Structure 1
Amino acid sequence: MKINHLTSAEETLMRLFWKLESFYLKDIMEQHPEPKPHQNTVSTYLKILVEKGYLSTEKEGRIFKYNVLVPLKDYRNFLLKELLHHFFNNSGKEILQSLILENLIFEEDLKDFNLTIEIPPAKSKEPHFEYVNEILNPKKDKKKDKNKKKKKKKD
């Protein structure tokens, strides 16, 4: 099954649909948080999501019952693979390294997976105070700049 990208509005509705799994249009209108979209807007999105293969329909009398075809887990895996492909050169190691460096995952989290990874301490660069030095010692810096300019003119 090929999974297609969702717009942010479609994704927002799908989050609600994943919770409901099977629903009618009236269920969505009742469950949707404020501000509620117009029923025609939701109906249009339902049609689009059916076309994209995320939902299926069953006609029950005069109304349609919708069922989720793409589970949340499959969509998350699709997005993760896209992220790996486009930003991390298909490298799980690179994404894990990024998560660690950004403090989004910690050594304790990795212990749950029985992984033995040593995380090196973060290297901090010494701050460069060029602007502060310029403010504190304005005359010295100006003299140096003048001398540099004179040397350049002589050359």
Structure 2
Amino acid sequence: MEQHPEPKPHQNTVSTYLKILVEKGYLSTEKEGRIFRYNVLVPFEEYRKFLLKELSHNFFHNSGKEILSFLIHEKLISQEDMKDLNLNIEIKPFKVKEEFEYANEVLNPKKDKKKDKDKKKKKKKDQEK
């Protein structure tokens, strides 16, 4: 909480988010006296790769050219930077669909809960019959 910028969220809000992330397996906890210490379980590179692909898909129509054009237009990268990179890269199309387990669970948490609730309701009805 000390490191969070102003306006700081309510402590209960932060606790709720952390609890959800622990339940989904993205964080682990260690109890230290009266407090919990949270540790990240999701590899940073996997999360970074997922975010970049989502950004590309949702905002740039899966076009690397559009991303580079945007970065140059917004002056986030210069043409000189592009020249310095010596981009002699051969791009080969491939049809491997990469799944991001962690991110899919975070982005679609309600679907799983709804299925669980529906299963419980069905089980309850079956027991009543």
TM-score normalised by structure 1 residue count: 0.44
The answer for the alignment partner of 2:66 in structure 1 is 94
**Secondary structure of the residue that 1:110 maps to in structure 2?**
helix
Alpha-carbon distance between aligned partners in 2 of 1:104 and 1:61, rounded to the nearest angstrom: 46
Amino acid of the residue matched to residue 63 of structure 2? S
CA deviations on 1:10-39 (whole Å, 9 max, x unpaired) are xxxxxxxxxxxxxxxxxxx33333333332
1:72 CA displacement: 4.5
Gaps of 5+ in 2: 89-129
For the aligned residues, what is the CA RMSD?
Answer: 2.7
**Paired residue for 2:19, among 47, 54, 58?**
47
1:81 CA displacement: 0.3
Alpha-carbon distance between aligned partners in 2 of 1:94 and 1:86, rounded to the nearest angstrom: 12
Q: Is residue 63 from structure 1 mapped to residue 24 from structure 2 by the alignment?
A: no
**Change beyond 3 A, Cα 1:102–1:42:** closer
Q: Which has the larger radius of gyration?
A: 1
1:2-151 to structure 2, matched below 5 A, reads 29-115=1-87
**Change beyond 3 A, Cα 1:31–1:88:** closer
Amino acid of the residue matched to residue 63 of structure 1? I
**Change beyond 3 A, Cα 1:49–1:114:** same
CA deviations on 1:61-111 (whole Å, 9 max, x unpaired) are 553221012354433322210121223332322321332344432111113
